[in-house]
Structure 1
Amino acid sequence: MLPLRSLQWIPLANPSWLYKTQPKKLLSVGRKHASSLAVAASNESSQHQIYQSLSDDPFVNLSIENFLLEHTPQNSCILFLYINRPCVVIGRNQNPWLETNLQALDRETRILANEAANNALFVRRRSGGGAVFHDEGNLNYSVICPKRVFHRDKHAEMVVRALQRVGAVNTRVNERHDIVLGQNSKEPSKEVIKVENGDATSPPLEKTPRSLKISGSAYKLTRFRAMHHGTCLVDSPNLGNISTFLRSPARPYIKAKGVESVRSPVGNVSSAVDSTSLLMEEVISKVIKEFAQLYGIHSDAVLKAQRAHAIEPELHTGNNWVVGGLADTHAYEEPEITKGIQELQSLEWKYCQSPQFTFSTHPNEEDPRPKPPLPSNIPSSTRVFLRVKSGTILESQISTSADPAQADIQSQKIQQILANRKLHEISDWTSLLAGSGALGSQEDVRNVSNWLTSKLGH
């Protein structure tokens, strides 16, 4: 994993012109004026907007993105580019116990805890789609436009044109709306997850894939607006490590509603170009240029937008455009963005938004699949069943006895302990199971608890 970069908090100069067209809809009681970003972005004359984020905080970037979706003019077209520090990002309707290795993420979180407050190794975004891994070699692009001119391949094709301009000529948009790289690259494929809306059962990976996925997409549609945001693996150093965090040890035992990700072999854009020096900057510059050509944006706006990463965060304006670099200060001076950041950081959002699922060590009517054998240190008669809705345990059956009557008693005692508990709040299964007095043997309590922890995290 890459070490997290420390955040740079740079004071923002607030040009006086930004406050001349202050929209009333952004004012709240007790506020003298809306933030500079809010005023510039919501101005009806701001029909073309291009921003580069100077923050690597995914909570900040995803909240700015959502703010732009909700508060920019209905007919405006916006490009927002950002690079997050290492983290796993799952879709709005996904299950973290199914999509991520929570225990591995928890270990990494503890390692990095002294380097970044509110570290972001696990994030639930507001759009749909599958789970992805972000790091500083991955470019995130977001395009917001009128819903009437939106179609799913439009902006992926825009990115393909940009990638072809930097030398990745064998790129295309596939039938799943992902950007793929023809398998003539110099880089061997890696077994990594994820794409957009997955099937209930993930197909096996091809042994010799015809193409490598370099970009996946997710979408959010409102009444008048459409947002397409995607990843682009420009030069990630973590391709070999991604599956550590995206391969859930609980997957064989979980039957879940919602969207499940599909595994795909992935690669870097850098494997298909001759020179990787300043490749990220080149890709960003070309994406901005392609966006400008697609929507007829003034050349002055393009030049200032392309330079945004190299200067202090500042907004520039023209007759019908706003461009510039955005920093953490832009986010935290706008209360609505700050509120969005706090929501994404909350455990309620991260865990309790999960659709209903069951966790079972044995086949049942809801999930008849055969299950992997339990460890040899756990009685072969052990049965574990959990029904979880919105992160809350509604029903549990945990027992080790081979006698059905005794197993029922064990399950009833443990149900009294687990009923209505938040699954993500259980950090000590040993104390809970021992406190129920149901399993009897301390060794059984310890072994069952260790196994549950290895599958469900913490």
Structure 2
Amino acid sequence: MIYIISKSNKPQYNIALEEYCFKKLLNHEKVFMLWINEPTIVVGKHQNTLEEINAEYVRENHINVVRRISGGGAVYHDHNNLNYTIISNEEKGSQFDFKSFSEPVIETLKELGVEASFTGRNDLVIGGQKICGNAQAYINGRIMHHGCILFDTNLGVLSKALEVPKDLIDSKSVKSVRSAVTNILPHLPRKITVEEFSETILQHMKRKFPDMQEYVFSDEELAEIERVSQDKFSSWEWNYGHSPQFNITLTTRFTAGKIQVFATVKNSVIENIKFYGTFFGNNGDLSPVENALKGVRYTVEDVHSALESINTAEFFAGFSVEELTEAIIR
């Protein structure tokens, strides 16, 4: 196992660094990474950015907006927020295992005198209040798990930056309730800095994995990471993209997450369709699902039949075909 402590606070660089470790350091079965960003909103891969942020507030307060390569919802980072990444070579099914990857944080907090627990789909809580949200990406037997830990984050800024527009369409499905959040620092018997907290987690991992060694990047690797940071994660095309303009817009919340559907339907046939939301899947390329629905009559029966023809669990973990059908047409 190797570990990496990022010295940069630039979110574009740190997410490029994370992607490089995930996709390029394939000879290392396990990778552990700690990083801190300057004020930033990080949106999930499948989210429509403009519908997830308070754009005016973000612009006025010079908050970065960067899209990551994993699913899930938008999170806020600042200098008192700690992010951790665990990359591991292991097969996963359609149901992502968040709990086992959260153990380093739970165990470290226990050492510091704080009881934290795993709850819901992918959250860590103290006394029922959320301290860490988690997300994952999966490629060919390799999984990347990352958590956003609220240590002493400015919760007022967090709330305003993520103040999203109200949904235009009400849902009869199970509602997802916005979690009450808290910082770790007020719960610690002995007050420490976020840097000390980061070091405590690192030392915990070193005791748990005695053979863990720090990875030193070559100049060529650092140049590649910087290039991707600029070309991909600093680009408007990646972080925002073109807002979809379709004649049918539906937003539905289920137990496994939120799905937004934008579809163009002509003569009762689906011409084009796009999915956004907070869902996860082993395959982040949704084009097979979208292509399978093009040319399909816009009826519950035909949409359901088209979805049954493909393995939807590969793209939408935890969703039934019935739920996906309901997300597309009611």
Closer, same or farther: CA 60–366 of 1 in aligned 2, 3 Å: closer
Closer, same or farther: CA 233–51 of 1 in aligned 2, 3 Å: same
Secondary structure of 1:155's aligned partner: helix
Q: Percent identity?
A: 28
Q: What's the CA shift for 1:290?
A: 3.2
Question: 1:140 corresponds to which residue?
Answer: 83
Structure 1 Cα separation of the partners of residues 77 and 44 of structure 2:
13
Question: 2:308 corresponds to which residue?
Answer: none
Question: 2:107 corresponds to which residue?
Answer: 161
> Quick check: 1:98–1:254 contact (8 Å CA) kept in 2?
no
Secondary structure of 1:265's aligned partner: coil
Amino acid at match of 2:88: C
Question: 1:239 corresponds to which residue?
Answer: 155
Q: Do residues 286 (structure 1) and 200 (structure 2) align?
A: yes
Question: 1:174 corresponds to which residue?
Answer: 119
> Quick check: 1:159–1:290 contact (8 Å CA) kept in 2?
no
Q: Do residues 63 (structure 1) and 16 (structure 2) align?
A: yes
> Quick check: 1:60–1:331 contact (8 Å CA) kept in 2?
no
Closer, same or farther: CA 331–290 of 1 in aligned 2, 3 Å: farther
Q: What's the CA shift for 1:261?
A: 8.1
Give TM-score, length-normalised by structure 2. 0.67
Matches within 5 A, 1:93-104: 93-104=46-57
Q: Aligned pair count? A: 250
Closer, same or farther: CA 331–179 of 1 in aligned 2, 3 Å: farther
Instruction: Note the alpha carbon deviations across 1:49-85, whole angstroms, 9 max, x for none.
Output: 1111111000000000000001113552111100000
In structure 1, runs of 5+ residues without a counterpart are 1-47, 110-119, 183-210, 302-320, 360-364, 370-386, 395-458
Closer, same or farther: CA 216–353 of 1 in aligned 2, 3 Å: farther
Q: What's the CA shift for 1:323?
A: 3.8
Question: Which of residues 283, 297, 307 is equivalent to 2:210?
Answer: 297
Moved more, 136-145 or 153-162: 153-162
Question: 2:234 corresponds to which residue?
Answer: 345
Structure 2 Cα separation of the partners of residues 350 and 252 of structure 1:
21
Structure 2 Cα separation of the partners of residues 336 and 139 of structure 1:
21
> Quick check: 1:130–1:261 contact (8 Å CA) kept in 2?
no
Secondary structure of 2:34's aligned partner: strand
Q: What's the CA shift for 1:228?
A: 0.2
Question: 1:263 corresponds to which residue?
Answer: 178
Structure 1 Cα separation of the partners of residues 237 and 131 of structure 2:
32
Question: 2:131 corresponds to which residue?
Answer: 214
Closer, same or farther: CA 127–262 of 1 in aligned 2, 3 Å: farther
Question: Which of residues 242, 252, 275 is equivalent to 2:190?
Answer: 275
Closer, same or farther: CA 131–367 of 1 in aligned 2, 3 Å: closer
Instruction: Note the alpha carbon deviations across 1:184-236, whole angstroms, 9 max, x for none.
Output: xxxxxxxxxxxxxxxxxxxxxxxxxxx11000001011102110001111111
Secondary structure of 1:216's aligned partner: strand
Which protein is bigger by CA-based radius of gyration?
A: 1
Secondary structure of 2:230's aligned partner: helix
Instruction: Note the alpha carbon deviations across 1:96-125, whole angstroms, 9 max, x for none.
Output: 22211111112223xxxxxxxxxx521111
Q: Do residues 80 (structure 1) and 33 (structure 2) align?
A: yes
> Quick check: 1:214–1:268 contact (8 Å CA) kept in 2?
yes
Structure 2 Cα separation of the partners of residues 261 and 90 of structure 1:
18
Amino acid at match of 2:103: E
Q: What's the CA shift for 1:155?
A: 1.8
Structure 2 Cα separation of the partners of residues 240 and 340 of structure 1:
29
Closer, same or farther: CA 130–106 of 1 in aligned 2, 3 Å: same
Q: Where do 4+ consecutive residues of structure 1 move more than 3 Å?
A: 148-151, 252-255, 321-324, 329-333, 356-359, 365-369
Matches within 5 A, 1:365-404: none
Q: Do residues 226 (structure 1) and 169 (structure 2) align?
A: no
> Quick check: 2:249–2:263 contact (8 Å CA) kept in 1?
no
Closer, same or farther: CA 101–95 of 1 in aligned 2, 3 Å: same
Secondary structure of 1:54's aligned partner: coil
Structure 2 Cα separation of the partners of residues 133 and 61 of structure 1:
15
Secondary structure of 2:76's aligned partner: strand
Instruction: Note the alpha carbon deviations across 1:429-458, whole angstroms, 9 max, x for none.
Output: xxxxxxxxxxxxxxxxxxxxxxxxxxxxxx
Secondary structure of 2:156's aligned partner: coil
> Quick check: 1:96–1:102 contact (8 Å CA) kept in 2?
no
RMSD of aligned C-alpha atoms? 3.2
